[in-house]
Amino acid sequence: MAFAGLGLGLKIAGLLLALITLTKLALAHQQRLERHGEIHAVLQIQLDRLARQKRELDRLFSSDGHQVLFRREEQWIAPNRRRIIWLPPDSSSP
């Protein structure tokens, strides 16, 4: 009878240990899922930013890219300032 009680006590202790371990594993898994969600959100933001910058770079290197650049630079010039555009020297004049 004493061995039956001891065996039952060991089984209960093992079951309790297994439940505690499973609870800890479930909490750790939940934390990893939350962290994964955060990292995935940051990655998506960076990928969107990269795609936007790729489109911008493609637009700058398109056939009318210099016009896009000039339009963007117009916003940087204060209204009370004069624009000076430097042109390369004409090779036909002496």
Contact 83, 77 (CB under 8 A): yes
Amino acid identity for residue 80 in this structure: N
Q: Is residue 89 part of a domain?
A: no
Question: Using 50, 70 and 90 to split pLDDT, how confident is the model at 71?
Answer: low
Q: Is residue 3 part of a domain?
A: no
Residue 57 has pLDDT above 90, yes or no: no
Q: Is residue 91 part of a domain?
A: no
Range of the domain at 68: 33-77
0.85 surpassed by pTM: no
Residue 62 has pLDDT above 90, yes or no: no
Domain count, the chain: 1
Beta-carbon contacts of residue 59 (< 8 Å; ≥ 6 apart): 65, 68
Q: Is residue 90 part of a domain?
A: no
Tens digit of each residue's pLDDT (9 = 90 or more) over 28-49: 999 999 999 999 999 999 999 9
pLDDT of residue 72: 63
